[in-house]
Copies of this chain bind each other. A is one copy, B any other.
Amino acid sequence: MSWIDDPAFAADRPFGPQTLPYGVVETADGPSVAVRVGDHALPLRPIADEFTGELADLVSAESLDALLAAGRPAWSALRARLRELVTATAAPDGAVLLPLADAQVRLPFTVGDYVDFYSSRHHAENVGRIFRPDGEPLLPNWTHLPVGYHGRAGTVVVSGTDIPRPHGQRKGDAGPVFGPSVRLDIEAEVGFVCGGPPARRVSTSAAAEHIFGVALVNDWSARDIQAWEYVPLGPHLGKSFATSIGAWITPLEAFAAARVPVVEPDHPRLDYLVEDAHWGLDIRLEVVWNGTMVSRPDFTQMSFSCAQQLAHMTVNGATVRPGDLFASGTVSGPDKRQRGSFLELSWSGKEPLTLDDGTERTFLEDGDTVVITATAPGPDGTVVGLSEVVGTIVAAVD
């Protein structure tokens, strides 16, 4: 019996000892690296004496930056030691558990570059049908490469941060009009936090050396701004106002039992995108809008894995650095209730959703709250949790 007296820390719960995601919480002694145990945060600096060598420094830091840079051997050693500590019968000297409901979390790492991919075929086809009704829904390049673009690293915010409605230009009958977005949307995504030594041309077989962990991402999107601006250089202000990321990064190692094949194209992949192991992940998401579960996006439907995305992103010689973040793209499955954006769920606003309180929605209204959660199979029949990413829309700031 662990010293951690929290029913949510049981092995049959998503945030049991098989998960152990990392974050940063405020303590009386300043921000501290912490690990999530059930519905509590365990700050690690107060128990730094329980770690030796490099690990003691890594857990004494104010962010995950040093841990991300430390690389895979340190990541594995830290996780193994944490596992011992949290499953012991006696608490380490000085250990403090903070209920998550009270804990103040921080964005846990300094985001380097942020790349957002577009690797759900169902999402790409849906968006293609909506934005380009006269063309083929899927463009010729799509099955050959993980299409993606750089987002704004400086506006990645931690879960719980309010999202002011963005202003911008949208198409009007007589030229563009300017004002608060009227088609504010979510994108339910799975994000990957990079670490290890800076590297170029990371092969799919080397991905584990550079992917530290996994977090849910909500890539808020102003569809009216995006539709007007995005040709020919892609999304910019329609996305750059905010991207939310879960406060707790679940280590890659926690997903060992969740590995599945990605969806293969109907042609061979180019060599640099071939995998020698399965890098798809059996992650099931849930999207809750003002308390109503509106979608269950299925991450097994993705056509490119995180290893393929990382290989692609660096195959041109671009470096990947600790703190770089990349996201899967909106996760949409084939069924309507598996779509990961309200653009798709409401079919561009034509098919409103009815929430449990009887209200109808197409896009986000001020005061709306969206919560995205997810789980994956863990070892020995357990379940591994991905921490929620939650955000509430607040009125546009003038």
Point out residues on A near B: beta carbons under 8 Å: 112-113, 115, 118, 128, 131-132, 139, 141, 144-145, 147-155, 164, 166-169, 175-176, 178, 200-201, 222, 225, 228-238, 240-242, 267, 270-272, 312-313, 315-321, 324, 396-397
Q: How many copies does the complex hold?
A: 2
Determine whether the beta carbon of B229 is less than 8 Å from that of A230.
Answer: no
Q: Which of A112, A115, A152, A166 has the most chain B CB atoms inside 10 A of its CB?
A: A152
| CB closest chain-B residue, reference A240 | B318
Determine whether the beta carbon of B151 is less than 8 Å from that of A150.
Answer: yes
- Residues of chain B with a CB closer than 8 A to A236's CB: 115, 147-150
| CB closest chain-B residue, reference A317 | B241
> CB < 8 Å: which of B154, B164, B233, B271 contacts A149?
B233
> CB < 8 Å: which of B139, B240, B324 contacts A150?
B240
Determine whether the beta carbon of A113 is less than 8 Å from that of B152.
Answer: yes
> CB < 8 Å: which of B113, B166, B231 contacts A317?
B166
Determine whether the beta carbon of B270 is less than 8 Å from that of A178.
Answer: yes
Determine whether the beta carbon of B154 is less than 8 Å from that of A240.
Answer: no
Determine whether the beta carbon of A316 is less than 8 Å from that of B149.
Answer: no
- Residues of chain B with a CB closer than 8 A to A176's CB: 141, 144-145, 270
Determine whether the beta carbon of A167 is less than 8 Å from that of B317.
Answer: yes
Give the 7 A-B CB pairs with smallest separation, nearest first: A234-B234, A150-B150, A166-B316, A149-B233, A233-B234, A237-B316, A241-B316
| CB closest chain-B residue, reference A116 | B233
> CB < 8 Å: which of B131, B144, B225 contacts A169?
B144
- Residues of chain B with a CB closer than 8 A to A113's CB: 152-154
Give the complex CA separation of A369 and B64 in angstroms.
40
Q: 19 other contacts beyond A150-B151, A178-B272, with CB at 8 A cut-off?
A: A131-B232, A139-B231, A139-B232, A150-B236, A150-B240, A152-B318, A155-B318, A164-B317, A166-B317, A167-B317, A176-B270, A200-B397, A230-B232, A230-B233, A233-B234, A234-B234, A238-B316, A240-B316, A241-B317
- Residues of chain B with a CB closer than 8 A to A238's CB: 316
